[in-house]
């Protein structure tokens, strides 16, 4: 735990010493706000909720989370600091988890900084804050899922651009597996149970309930398992690369 904390706090501090962090946060806030107001017509809807704010999060994350996660391992490999880090008395798992948590907290900070919209909706109307909090937690969990996937992909390469593109594609697959086009593709030949299983893997499906304030333990478990499995694979990739 101590090592995870130390690695995580070092990593988080590293995010904030680079301008990338601030650029990321500004872009995230601008896009989240812009989409809500201009595409979601949040004001015109006249409803005191943040539905149209959260509905764009999966698509925002699709590009922004790989941008946060791409550097986690690729940069270490490129600059050689991985050799410094991995010859310190820490386990690979500790490094993987520590780095992931740092990035996840960073994503959380960006998310928390959208609070003005929450303040606004409370000023303008009388929303159900329980729903909003659930949706925020769900959004953060989903960000964690995307981030864990991006982190494993990042461990595969020393090129951050490659890491970004691969991570975005992987995130896209997980995001869209519940969408009708993808489902139709599988329905043509696969047994219905398999098609349903694929739909269950969809971030969109699992985030859907949470974003509407429905706390379904299966959704939470889903994101937790995606994170756990992805980080396990991440650890394995780092280990395998040692003997390559």
Partner 1 sequence: MNMLLEINSLTKRFGPITAVDNVSFSVERGEVLGFLGPNGAGKSTTMKMATGYLSPTAGDVKVCGYDVQSHPIEVKRRIGYLPEGAPLYGEMTPFSLLNFVSDIRKLSREERKHGMEHAIESLHLQRVLHQPIETLSKGYKRRVGLAQAIIHEPDVLVLDEPTDGLDPNQKHEVRELLERMASTKAIIISTHILEEVDAVCSRAIIISQGRIVADKKPSELEMESVYHNAVGIRLLNENVEKCITVMNEINEVLSVEHVDQSDELIHLVVFPKKGADILTKVNSALDENKLKVAEMYLEKGRLEDVFRDLTLNEGGVGSKGVDPTSGVKEAASHA
Q: Which residues bind partner 1 (CB under 8 A)?
A: 2-3, 6-7, 10, 14, 17-18, 79-84, 86-91, 242-244
Work out how close the CB of 14 gets to partner 1 at its nearest, in angstroms, rounded to a whole number: 6
Instruction: Please report how close the Cβ of residue 89 comes to partner 1 at its closest, in angstroms.
Output: 4
Q: How many CB atoms lie within 10 A of CB 183?
A: 18
CA 162 to the chain's CA centroid: 18
User: By C-beta, is 2 or 193 nearer to partner 1?
Assistant: 2
Q: Considering the complex, state which of residue 10 and residue 45 has its C-beta at the smaller distance from partner 1.
A: 10
Residue 46 vs 89, nearer CB to partner 1: 89
Least Å distance, CB 88 to partner 1, is: 5
Give the Cα separation of 221 and 223 in Å (integer). Answer: 6
Question: Cα 193 to the chain's mean position, in Å?
Answer: 27
**Sign (positive/negative) of CA torsion 178, 179, 183, 185?**
negative
How far apart CA 195 and CA 123 sit, in angstroms, is 44
In the complex, what is the shortest distance from the CB of residue 21 to partner 1, in angstroms, rounded to a whole number? 11
Residue whose entry in the numeric block shows the structure tokens 């990321």: 24
Distance in Å, CB of 17 to partner 1, minimum: 4
The CA-based angle 14-17-22, given to 5 degrees, is: 110
**Whole-angstrom distance, CA of residue 238 vs CA of residue 233:** 9
By beta-carbon proximity to partner 1, the closer residue of 92 and 159 is 92
Q: In this complex, which beta carbon is closest to partner 1, that of residue 20 or of residue 197?
A: 20
């Amino acid at each position: 735990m101590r090592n995870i904390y130390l690695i995580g706090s070092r990593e988080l501090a590293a995010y904030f010493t680079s301008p990338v962090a601030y650029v990321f946060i500004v872009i995230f806030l601008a896009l989240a706000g812009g989409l809500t107001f201009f595409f979601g017509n949040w004001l015109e809807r006249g409803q005191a909720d943040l539905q149209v704010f959260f509905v764009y999060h999966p698509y925002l994350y699709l590009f922004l989370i790989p941008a946060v996660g791409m550097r986690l391992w690729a940069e270490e490999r490129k600059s050689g600091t991985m050799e410094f880090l991995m010859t310190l008395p820490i386990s690979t798992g500790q490094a993987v988890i520590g780095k992931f948590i740092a990035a996840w907290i960073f994503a959380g900070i960006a998310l928390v900084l959208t609070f003005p919209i929450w303040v606004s909706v409370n000023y303008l109307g009388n929303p159900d804050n329980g729903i909003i909090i659930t949706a925020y937690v769900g959004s953060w969990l989903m960000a964690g899922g995307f981030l864990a996937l991006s982190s494993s992909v990042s461990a595969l390469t020393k090129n951050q651009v490659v890491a970004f593109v691969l991570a975005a594609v992987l995130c896209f697959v997980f995001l869209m597996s519940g969408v009708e086009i993808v489902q139709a593709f599988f329905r043509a030949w696969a047994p219905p149970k398999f098609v349903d299983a694929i739909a269950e893997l969809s971030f969109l499906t699992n985030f859907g309930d949470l974003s509407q304030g429905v706390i379904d333990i299966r959704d939470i478990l889903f994101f937790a398992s995606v994170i756990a499995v992805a980080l396990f694979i991440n650890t394995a990739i780092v280990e395998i690369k040692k003997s390559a």
